[in-house]
Amino acid sequence: MTHLKTLETPELILVKRIPDAFKAQVDRIAEAIIYLYTESRRLTKDQAAKVGLTGPQLSVVKILEEIGDLSLSDLSERIRAQNSTVTGIVDRMEREGLVDRKRSADDRRVVHIRLTDKGAKLARSLSFEPFEIFRGAFENALSPQELLQLLTLMDKLATYVRSETDGRDVRAASGK
Amino acid sequence: MTHLKTLETPELILVKRIPDAFKAQVDRIAEAIIYLYTESRRLTKDQAAKVGLTGPQLSVVKILEEIGDLSLSDLSERIRAQNSTVTGIVDRMEREGLVDRKRSADDRRVVHIRLTDKGAKLARSLSFEPFEIFRGAFENALSPQELLQLLTLMDKLATYVRSETDGRDVRAASGK
DNA sequence: GATAAATGTTTCGTGTGCGAACTAATTCGC
DNA sequence: GCGAATTAGTTCGCACACGAAACATTTATC
């Protein structure tokens, strides 16, 4: 139980109080975001380690199982990483015999990544879902109304940030 | 968006409707968290690059400026990384002449990391604050009431997750 | 006070993660 | 058509990031 650092006494709200309280609130929210992110990553990694995979590799296995074969670029977009990063991940998975590469016939630049039998078998044995880790927390910590509130607020935030950074962002240019 | 794997039996449909909506909401929130996190990281990195630093190095400089000398372990805790990671970061910063190491006199196991003159000068030239990046978004996208709402909800979430993972987590044992 | 347990740091091996430069294949401009 | 710009993927160099093991120094235990 993190004791709420009761955000400051009314009588002091004169000049600097509002900005200060604002700053403290933002910091706390930012910390929470970072905490939730890193914790979910850690848990994913633990799950993956149980079957001899890394976190990103587990994501790749599940995505390929759910969607089917994907080009490397599409895969990169899915796991929000650069092509050069995914090349390495796929290299190591190929070495382990979990996936293989097949050059596309229509466009000989693209490479399709697909699960091998071994990879597919592994995928079926996994109950993992990307955000499953959050689900318990959301379900137990928040009421349905609160969940909806949170969704609305996060959406506003994300939309705002996206609108601010769009245009100067290389990847976002594609429009997704 | 995320397509639903329908393998439900007819009689379960009634009960499953609500969970499906729930799942979709959770996924959206999780995506927003991930998006905000990665975007803030990217912006931090850009800021840091302007003065020839990496993201983590910028954090170290600002922390040392604000708090003063720190042991490597304390520094690790501050930036939420393992000691072995921070050893590398400090190595590279030492090579650049931004910090140096000094063995403690009381406990010769510990190493104090401190800014050199060069590092301190750099620190003073930086207006950066860790969560500054979020501040504009929070200020412009949300009303004060919404901000407070969001803080409350995120606190609940973080507290819940923390209580769940505490005990089985090595690092968290210290209790912050 | 010698041995054992704990603590702080480093070393090592592996796996991301990114941007820049490169190659090969495709499309655009004219 | 044909050269120029684009696009898909890889390679390279660097900087995290983590866990396990090694190492040094305290502290605890007897």
User: Across the strands, what pairs with B112?
Assistant: B71, B102
Average model confidence (pLDDT) across chain B: 82
* Percentage of residues in chain B having pLDDT higher than 90: 50
Strands B111-115 and B70-71: antiparallel
Q: Please give the pLDDT value at position A129.
A: 66
| Alpha carbon distance A54, A86 (integer Å) | 13
Question: Could you check: is the Cβ of residue B44 within 7 Å of any atom of nucleic acid strand D?
Answer: no
Torsion of CA A46, B77, B163, A60, to 10 degrees: -30
pLDDT band at B166 (very low <50, low <70, confident <90, very high): low
CA A88/CA A94 separation, integer angstroms: 10
Pick the CATH number of B52-127 from 3.30.930.10, 3.40.50.11540, 1.10.10.10, 3.40.50.1100: 1.10.10.10
CB contact under 8 A, B138 and A80: no
| pLDDT higher than threshold 50 for residue B171 | no
pLDDT in tens, B47-103: 899 999 999 999 999 999 999 999 999 999 999 999 999 999 999 999 999 999 999
What CATH number labels A54-126?
1.10.10.10
Using alpha carbons, select from A18, A162, A140, A134 the residue that is nearest to residue B38: A162
* Window 58-77 of chain A: CB closer than 7 A to strand C: none
Joined tokens for residue A23: 């700053």
User: Is B32–A155 a contact, with Cβ atoms under 8 angstroms apart?
Assistant: yes
Q: Which amino acid is residue B47, in one-letter code?
A: Q
> Minimal Cα distance from A29: which residue of B?
B151
- Average pLDDT value for residue range B34-52: 88
Say how far apart CA B162 and CA A46 lie, in whole Å.
Answer: 16
In the numeric block, the tokens 């910091």 are attached to: A27
CA of B102 vs chain A CAs: smallest distance (Å): 31
pLDDT tens-digit map of B144-160 = 899 999 999 999 988 88
CA dist B55 and B62 (Å) reads 11
As ranges, strand C nucleotides with an atom below 7 A of a protein CB are 7-13, 15-21, 24-27
Q: Give the model's confidence band at B42: pLDDT under 50 very low, under 70 low, under 90 confident, else very high.
A: confident
Q: Which range, A21-25, A41-45, A47-51, B37-41, has the best average confidence (pLDDT)? A: A47-51
- Listed residue (A44, A154, A164, A41) closest to B36, CA to CA: A154
Q: Where are the beta strands (DSSP E) in chain A?
A: 70-71, 99-103, 111-115
- Out of B43, B134, B160, closest to residue A141 by CB: B160
